[in-house]
Amino acid sequence: MNTSFMNGLFPALATPFLDNENIDENGVEKLVQTLVQQGADGLYVCGSSGESILLSIQERKTILEIAIAAAKGRVPVIAHIGSQRTSDTIELAKHAQSCGAAAISALPPIYYKYTLSELINYYLEVMNSVSLPFIVYNAPALTGIFFDKSNINEIFIHPNAFGMKFTSYDSYRMQRLMAQYPDKVIINGHDETYLCTLALGVKCAIGSTLNFALSKFKKIKQDFESGNLKAARRGQDEVNQIVDAMIEIGVFRGIKAMLTLLELPAGNCRKPFAPISKQELDKLVPLLKLLA
């Protein structure tokens, strides 16, 4: 399986909404075009940053179709298809394949405490339904399940399984996973640890703040690869200052706030998230200088 496209920086695309909470379809198109023009290496659509859990199945299909059309084949588009029902996930997988997604990815179902065997079967059924490359989305803080070298083998031996989006601060478990499965693509999912994972040999990142700080990450990567570690550490610190401020108001609301300040399509997050207040926006304004 060719995984060479899975390299570089992939913004986890935010979903712009109108004031009535409908999808801002023109905004999705504009945001995709902006990120591609800024040098994104790919896009990850309808993940956590895209508020997928607050979208209907049809809305997720619509967003993916718009993103793929707007990308115009210039970059690969990965569709996050994870859902609570296996049948919905398979429906989204088949749709992603039909409209030209480069790969699919899925969080495991949440809320019910499924057994490991049940989660393995979920992933196997989804992978068996299509021929697209598949990325396990490992986000233990959100799902309550941590996939690592101790429990991933039955999933990773499937011919469609080519990697994992590793959204955890546990760099030890990341490194052990990479050592155990050198043929798999392990992708950084926490922007605030990007530089650390470069040192481990990670070649790809999917992240929320890449929606508005793509050039910052490109500079961190450039400084790291040229051996200018002082500058790379400074860049990562500046990213983390932004992340700290976003955490104070909520990460996903923070993404929308930063996009709004940069006059990019955003809107508010869907309810039950609260709208962004003027006071919250004002707190973030001083951080714009860090993006320069």
CATH number of the domain residue 139 falls in: 3.20.20.70
Residue type, position 190, single letter: H
Residue 1 lies in a domain: no
The CB density around residue 267, as the number of other CB atoms within 10 Å, is 22
Residue 130: domain span: 8-214
Question: What is the chain's Cα-based Rg?
Answer: 18
Question: Rounded to whole angstroms, how far apart are CA atoms 6 and 205?
Answer: 9
Residue 292 lies in a domain: no
pLDDT at 292: 79
Residue 125 lies in a domain: yes
164 in helix, strand or coil? Answer: strand
Residue 193 lies in a domain: yes
Residue 93 lies in a domain: yes
Label the pairing between strands 77-80 and 43-45: parallel
| Greatest CA separation for the chain | 50
Residue numbers in the chain where pLDDT is lower than 70: none
Question: Rounded to whole angstroms, how far apart are CA atoms 143 and 175?
Answer: 21
The crossing angle, in degrees rounded to 10, of helices 229-249 and 251-261 is 110
The CB density around residue 247, as the number of other CB atoms within 10 Å, is 11
pLDDT at 3: 76
Number of domains in the chain: 1
pLDDT at 259: 98
Q: Which residue of the set 165, 184, 218, 221 is catalytic?
A: 165
Q: Which residues pair with 8 in a beta bridge?
A: 204
pLDDT at 2: 75
Question: Rounded to whole angstroms, how far apart are CA atoms 191 and 216?
Answer: 11
6: Cβ–Cβ under 8 A, 6 or more apart, which residues? 42, 76, 103, 133, 162, 163, 185, 187, 203, 204
Asked if 165 is an active-site residue, the reply is yes
Residue 50 lies in a domain: yes
Q: Which letter, b or e, does each residue of 13-29 get, where b requires 16 or more Cβ atoms within 10 Å of its Cβ?
A: bbbbbeeeeebbeebbb
The dihedral region occupied by 203, where left means phi > 0, alpha psi between -120 and 50, and beta the remainder, is alpha
The conformation of residue 291, written as its DSSP 8-state character, comes to G
Residue 88 lies in a domain: yes
Q: How far apart are the first and last CA of the chain?
A: 39
pLDDT at 216: 98
Asked if 122 is an active-site residue, the reply is no
Give this prediction's pTM: 0.97
236: Cβ–Cβ under 8 A, 6 or more apart, which residues? 192, 194, 195, 220
pLDDT at 100: 97
Structure tokens at 209: 């703040």
Question: Rounded to whole angstroms, how far apart are CA atoms 184 and 176?
Answer: 12
212: Cβ–Cβ under 8 A, 6 or more apart, which residues? 255, 258, 259, 262, 264, 291
Residue 258 lies in a domain: no
Q: Which residue of the set 44, 122, 123, 137 is catalytic?
A: 137
